[in-house]
């Protein structure tokens, strides 16, 4: 059976062209099922027991850029692996192509694991994929993962909530409206600038100066504690702690690169007491 996608065989499949569009069709043979699995923030020890079991039994895995080698090592050597990772301005396959590939594989009778960094439903586009699979009648199960925000908080010593400092937690994307190649929504700066909350911004290293400036312009004091956590939970993790005013310069000074999370709020000030060494 021939497919116009990069299936390949062995450890990893080659990258190829986007498959042809797929529409719902009555199955002539039993369809496969898809399991969306959260790989967590990187440290394989932070996988859920269920995620580890699913990976150990997988025969076909589509995996993202932020899935760590330690997590991939849990996949059997005999399993087929297809890289579908996306980096800024460098997508091996567009999101629509990934969805079409998943549908095509499942409709051919193959069950597969869709492996994503963090949690599939927290800026992982798992919702888009589950919705598309449901629309054509493909069975889909989701196995949650520890989110990057949770992993970064624990490994850096920055609580996400605290009775004395933050009664709310806000997760947001740093992809600002109008960025080339990204379908995004405008950030609600007034909501993000409210006091007594912790704000965690994913994918915001490239727009850090704008984020900090907008939060200050919408009412947060320039002295508000803020941090960058680079490669959270992985060897080589770095935590950079400053304020909304100083963090952009600190990011340049220390050469922070993605993947990194931005954490903003009074709980960041607790890092010095709770966490390990940090760059300042």
Nearest CA-CA partner of 216 in 190, 242, 196: 190
Alpha helix ranges (H) inside 111-245: 126-135, 148-156, 189-192, 208-217
Choice among 12, 17, 45, 64 that is catalytic: 64
CA–CA dist 123, 125 (Å, integer):
6
- CATH number of residue 85's parent domain: 3.40.1010.10
The reply to whether 102 and 215 lie within a common domain is: no
Q: How far apart are the first and last CA of the chain?
A: 57
Instruction: State residue 4's pLDDT score.
Output: 35
User: Mean per-residue pLDDT for 105-128?
Assistant: 97
Does residue 243 form part of some domain? yes
19 touches 4 (CB < 8 A):
yes
pLDDT tens digits for range 164-213: 999 999 999 997 755 445 544 589 999 999 999 999 999 999 999 999 99
Worst-scoring range by mean pLDDT, 26-35, 74-83, 239-248? 26-35
Does residue 21 form part of some domain? no
pTM: 0.85
The reply to whether 158 and 139 lie within a common domain is: no
10 Å CB burial of residue 22 (0-12, 13-18, 19+) is middle
The reply to whether 130 and 56 lie within a common domain is: yes
Choice among 86, 116, 188, 249 that is catalytic: 86
Domain count, the chain: 2
The reply to whether 162 and 264 lie within a common domain is: yes
Does residue 3 form part of some domain? no
Nearest CA-CA partner of 133 in 165, 111, 149, 157: 111
CA–CA dist 265, 195 (Å, integer):
8
Domain that residue 249 falls in: 149-274
CA–CA dist 75, 54 (Å, integer):
9
Q: In the predicted model, is pLDDT for residue 3 greater than 80?
A: no
Catalytic residue check, 11: no
Q: In the predicted model, is pLDDT for residue 124 greater than 60?
A: yes
CA–CA dist 265, 280 (Å, integer):
16
Does residue 182 form part of some domain? yes
CA–CA dist 174, 159 (Å, integer):
21
DSSP classification of residue 17: P
pLDDT tens digits for range 14-68: 344 444 444 444 555 699 999 999 999 999 999 999 999 999 999 999 999 999 9
Question: H-helix or E-strand containing 81?
Answer: strand 80-83
Q: Using the 3D structure, point to which of 125, 145, 165 is the last residue of a domain.
A: 145
Q: How confident is the model at residue 276 (pLDDT cuts 50, 70, 90)?
A: confident
Summary mean pLDDT of the chain: 89
Does residue 135 form part of some domain? yes
Catalytic residue check, 86: yes
Q: Using the 3D structure, point to which of 145, 168, 201 is the last residue of a domain.
A: 145
Q: In Å, what is the CA distance from 280 to each residue of 150, 200, 249?
A: 22, 19, 11
Does residue 116 form part of some domain? yes
Worst-scoring range by mean pLDDT, 2-6, 85-89, 161-165, 230-234? 2-6
- CATH number of residue 261's parent domain: 3.30.950.10
Q: Which residue has the higher pLDDT, 179 or 81?
A: 81
Instruction: State residue 89's pLDDT score.
Output: 53
Instruction: State residue 86's pLDDT score.
Output: 73
Long-range contacts of 235-242 (CB under 8 A, 24+ apart): 237/155, 237/156, 238/279, 239/156, 239/157, 239/271, 239/275, 239/276, 239/278, 239/279, 240/278, 240/279, 240/280, 241/268, 241/271, 241/272, 241/278, 241/279, 241/280, 242/280
Q: Using the 3D structure, point to which of 145, 171, 187 is the last residue of a domain.
A: 145
Does residue 16 form part of some domain? no
Does residue 17 form part of some domain? no
């Amino acid at each position: 059976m021939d497919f116009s996608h990069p299936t390949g065989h062995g450890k990893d499949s080659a990258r190829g062209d986007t498959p042809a569009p797929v529409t719902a069709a009555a199955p002539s043979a039993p369809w496969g099922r898809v399991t969306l699995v959260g790989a967590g923030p990187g440290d394989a020890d932070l996988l859920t027991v269920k995620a580890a079991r699913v990976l150990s039994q997988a025969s076909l895995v589509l995996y993202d850029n932020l899935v760590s080698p330690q997590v991939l090592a849990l996949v059997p050597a005999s399993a087929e692996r297809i890289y579908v990772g996306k980096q800024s301005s460098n997508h091996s396959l567009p999101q629509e192509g990934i969805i079409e590939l998943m549908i095509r594989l499942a409709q051919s009778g193959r069950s597969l694991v869709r492996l994503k960094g963090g949690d599939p439903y927290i800026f992982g586009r798992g919702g888009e994929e589950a919705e598309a699979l449901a629309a054509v009648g493909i069975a889909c199960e989701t196995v949650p993962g520890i989110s990057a925000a949770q992993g970064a908080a624990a490994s850096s010593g920055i609580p996400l909530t605290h009775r004395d400092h933050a009664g709310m937690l806000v997760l947001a994307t740093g992809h600002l409206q109008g960025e080339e190649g990204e379908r995004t929504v405008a950030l609600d700066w007034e909501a993000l600038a409210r006091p007594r909350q912790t704000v965690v911004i994913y994918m915001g290293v490239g727009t850090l100066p704008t984020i900090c400036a907008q939060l200050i312009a919408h009412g947060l004091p320039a002295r508000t504690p803020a941090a960058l956590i680079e490669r959270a939970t992985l060897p080589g993790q770095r935590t950079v702690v400053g304020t909304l005013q100083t963090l952009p310069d600190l990011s340049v000074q220390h050469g922070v690169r993605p993947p990194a999370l931005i954490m903003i709020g009074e709980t960041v000030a607790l890092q010095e007491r709770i966490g390990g060494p940090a760059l300042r």
